[in-house]
Structure formats: C-alpha cells, structure tokens
Amino acid sequence: MVLFLPGGGAMKAFPELLPIVLAVGAAAMTYLGGRVALRLGGRLELLFGLTAGVVLGIALFDLLPEALGLGHGSYAPRTLFGALAGGFVLYLLLDRLLDSVRAPIGLRAHLGPASLTVHSFIDGLGIGLAFHVSVAAGLVIAIAVLVHDFADGINTVGLSLAGNRRDIAHRWLIADSAAPLFGAFAGTVIELRNDVLALVLAGFAGAFLYIGACELIPRSRLGSQRGLGQAATVGGLVLTYGVVRLANG
C-alpha cells in the first residue's frame, strides 16, 4: 500500500531513527505473512485465490486512486490510465518473453515477486518521505503500511509458488521484507516529486492487474476445489478494500 500525502513543504526536524524503526515493523509483518503462506503451500488454490484478490485490490483500491490523487493538477486522468495500460502491457511482454525463452534459472518465476519487492521498497520510501512533512504524517503513513504488509508477504510467496518455485519463495520473502528498510532509508535523504510518483504508481497498478487477472486467478481454478479459490479471490478483494478504507480513516 502506498499512501502519500500530496504537497511537499520544507523539510522539518524529526527523530532520525523513527522511520527506520517503523520500517523494521513493516519488514516483520511482511515476513510473518510469508511464513503463514508457506504453511498453506498444500492448499494452492486457496493461496492463489487469496493472493489474486489482494493483488487486484491493491491495484484498484490503493495504487490507482493514489496515482490519480498525486497526479491531480499535473496530468489529465487519461495520462495516468495510459501509464496503467503501459504497466499492464510491459509486464505482459516481459512475461511472454521469459516464458518463450524458458531460461534454465527460471527467470519467469522471479518476475512477479520482484515487482512486489519493488512495490515494498516504494512503501518504505513513502514512510521516509512523509516524515519530511511532519512526524504525524510519517506515523499515519507507517500505520497504513503496517496494516497491509502481512498480505504483501502472502503475495510474494504466492507468486513464487505460482511459478512452481518453492525453493525461491523464502529467498524472495526475505528480499521483500528487507525492501521497506532500504526504502525508508532512501526516503529520509531524498525527495521525490509527486508527479513522478504518480506515473510510477499507475504503472504498478497495471502490472498488478495483469498478475492478478491473468496469472493468479487461472491458477486458483486448477485445483480440485475451484469454488474455494474463487471465494478466496472475492475475500481478498473485500479484505483489501476494508484495509484501505481503514487506513484512510
């Protein structure tokens, strides 16, 4: 979840270690969610269905609205929807390219977890950048990130298992857990323009729509209990919507 307060403002004094401490909490929640997902590895249709719902929910209820909010006044909505389409198409082309190459090291299985890891880095970046506005703003953003990072860990493991690569699931989980720490550190020392961040988030929304709709939902219907996977997808959407509403007050 990338929640960022529009508007820059002069950099204000804040406890230097607080964003890092909060990012450690985000990392812990991500890792905990991934460990739970690894325990559910035998119920793949349930895991894929839940992951699909959460990924689609993040794209529709979090990333896209945030992109529209940050880009307001800088871009017409059609520009941001164009960035969304670009993210969808770019991920599609990368996915098809890696699938056709069939690299021996399984690059295709890394694509989804890698995109989520970059997203987690942006989460941490948002925490660090928000503290440039005020301590209160940083705490609000950090809480919003914390309440959804459990699902981020589930998603990372789910996408690794979707590529039939259980051996890399734990490694990507560690990378995804560490990403907010690096993002928070970067956010304390740099500033990112809202119009640039808006395009980045819209592109990620498009990539996540592809991951959820074209990769995870079909896999959630391959098991013997298709209805369970479909119910999990709906549950993931509802859960993500509720978390986003709660985080936004």
Mean pLDDT by 10 residues, the chain (249 residues): 44 60 82 76 71 86 88 92 94 72 57 78 77 65 65 73 68 84 83 81 86 81 71 89 77
C-alpha 154: how far from chain center: 11
Distance in angstroms (rounded) separating the CA atoms of residues 115 and 200: 12
Q: Of 55, 66, 71, 30, whose CA–CA distance to 207 is shortest?
A: 55
* Euclidean distance between the first and the last CA atom of the chain, given in angstroms as a whole number: 14
Distance in angstroms (rounded) separating the CA atoms of residues 139 and 122: 16
Distance in angstroms (rounded) separating the CA atoms of residues 63 and 201: 6
Distance in angstroms (rounded) separating the CA atoms of residues 161 and 41: 8
Output the pLDDT for position 197. 81
Output the pLDDT for position 9. 41
Listed in sequence order, the DSSP H helices in the chain are 18-39, 44-57, 64-71, 77-101, 107-130, 135-162, 166-189, 194-210, 217-220, 226-247
Distance in angstroms (rounded) separating the CA atoms of residues 194 and 132: 13
Output the pLDDT for position 237. 92
Output the pLDDT for position 104. 47
Residue 225 burial by Cβ neighbours in a 10 Å radius (0-12, 13-18, 19+): middle
Distance in angstroms (rounded) separating the CA atoms of residues 123 and 109: 23
Output the pLDDT for position 76. 92
What six digits make up the tokens of 109? Answer: 């299985």
Q: Of 224, 241, 217, 167, whose CA–CA distance to 47 is shortest?
A: 217
Secondary structure class of 133 (helix, strand, coil): coil
C-alpha 104: how far from chain center: 27
